[in-house]
Amino acid sequence: MPSDVEVTRRGFLKTGAALATTAFGFDLQPARAAARELKIARTTQTHSICPYCAVGCSVIIHTLGDKAKNVKPAVVHIEGDPASPVNRGTLCPKGISLKQFVVNDQRLTEPLYRAPGATAWKVIPWDEAIDKMARRIKDSRDRGFEPKDARGRTVNRLDNVAIIGGCTDTNEINYLLGKFRFSLGILTYENQARL
């Protein structure tokens, strides 16, 4: 992550504060800026992109604790990045509340499993989940794989398993998902762009 982001941003805030005046004859800006400095003092700043719509606003994620031993870094604040020509530091109501999306007690933290006919989830360890899922995929593939079609042409395809998704994930993960798909021969591969 570029370390000069920090300097630029601080400079931006200070300039903004120095230039600001109000109609009341006194200036509220320094007080606001000071409060803001406290909130983000000593944070590590990481450049990121808002995961919601496709305007592609740049954000700065502030984390605390990543330089201390035995402390897991935590997101304390997310704000718009003034360096971006797209959003110049601004964000919409969704973007400005991004911290609550990342730090959220409804986030999934363990793999969950629902057995046939069950009415509740059960926590399952990752290794067991991977083993079971790979077995299910293999069984379906072994049953449904079509190496040749009725006319004897090589088609190497699988039509009883489908993959959907990707629009919320990075290019690189979409690319890996594509490799995964073609390694199995999966025909049906769809994403949110269809909808």
**What residues numbered 78-117 form the site for other proteins, per CB under 8 A?**
78, 83-87, 90-95, 97-98, 100-102, 104, 106-117
C-beta closer to other proteins: residue 8 or 34: 8
> What is the total count of residues that contact other proteins (CB under 8 A)?
120
Using the rule CB under 8 A, which residue among 7, 55, 67, 71 binds other proteins?
55
Spatial distance between the Cα atoms of 76 and 99, rounded to a whole number of angstroms: 7
DSSP designation for 148:
E
Question: Tokens 């592609």 — which residue?
Answer: 56
Spatial distance between the Cα atoms of 97 and 125, rounded to a whole number of angstroms: 32
C-beta closer to other proteins: residue 22 or 154: 154
C-beta closer to other proteins: residue 13 or 95: 95
Site string for other proteins, 166-195 (x = CB under 8 A): xxxxxxxxxxxxxxxxxxxxxxxxxxxxxx
Residue 36 as a binder of other proteins (CB under 8 A): the answer is: no
Using the rule CB under 8 A, which residue among 15, 42, 56, 67 binds other proteins?
56
Spatial distance between the Cα atoms of 177 and 17, rounded to a whole number of angstroms: 47
Question: Would you put residue 70 in left (φ > 0), alpha (ψ -120 to 50) or beta?
Answer: left
C-beta closer to other proteins: residue 29 or 113: 113
C-beta closer to other proteins: residue 7 or 121: 121
The angle formed by the CA atoms of residues 106, 164 and 178, to the nearest 5 degrees, is 115
Q: How far is the CB of 2 from other proteins (least distance, A)?
A: 7
Residue 118 as a binder of other proteins (CB under 8 A): the answer is: yes
124-163: which residues touch other proteins (CB under 8 A)?
Answer: 124, 126, 129-138, 140-145, 147, 149, 151, 153-163
Taking every pair of Cα atoms in the chain, the longest distance, rounded to a whole number of angstroms, is 86
Residue 69 as a binder of other proteins (CB under 8 A): the answer is: no
C-beta closer to other proteins: residue 15 or 160: 160
Q: Tokens for 161?
A: 């398993």
Question: What is the secondary structure of 62-94 as a DSSP string?
Answer: EEESTTSTT---EEEEEEE-TT-TTTTT---HH
Are 157 and 187 spatial neighbours (Cβ–Cβ below 8 Å)?
yes
- Residue 3, helix vs strand vs coil: coil
